A = this chain, B = another copy of it.
Amino acid sequence: MVSSRQTQSIRLVWEVFDRSDNAFSVVELVQMHKDSMNKTTVYRILDRFEKEGKLHTFLGKNGLKWYAKCNNCSSKQHIDIHPHFQCNECGKVECLSIDVKIPKVAKHHIEQANMLLLGQCDECVV
């Protein structure tokens, strides 16, 4: 056996994602677990979940890293595009279940595409 022990910390971090379909920034996750584990641990656990294909990541508008559960995401779908949305008012981030075509570009071999939509979420549109 090479790895993967079921620790308290791992359970706690996973619970957050299990209870909600939201995306969470690393900053939020470190904050919400600050009494039960070290920030290094949070970073390491998130890394691991990503490698295991349980979570996918993307960058929000300030270059902050966000994590979200891979619901209807096969590993293949990580390559095709599902865009993410971030609200300019409240900062909330969502995965959108829309498919966007990856444009073809002459002389370039495109492997991956990231799309971030910015605007106002339903709660912030007045």
Could you list which residues of chain A lie within 8 angstroms of chain B, going by C-beta atoms? 59, 61-65, 83, 85, 88, 96, 98, 100, 102-103, 105, 107-122, 125
Contact = CB atoms under 8 A, between A and B. Distances in A.
B111 A118 contact: yes
A91 to B, nearest CB: 14
Given A59-B63, A63-B64, A118 B107 contact: no
Contacts of A115: 113-116
Assembly of this chain: how many copies? 2
Contacts of A119: 108-112
Nearest to A118: B112
Contacts of A83: 103, 113
B114 A118 contact: yes
B112 A108 contact: no
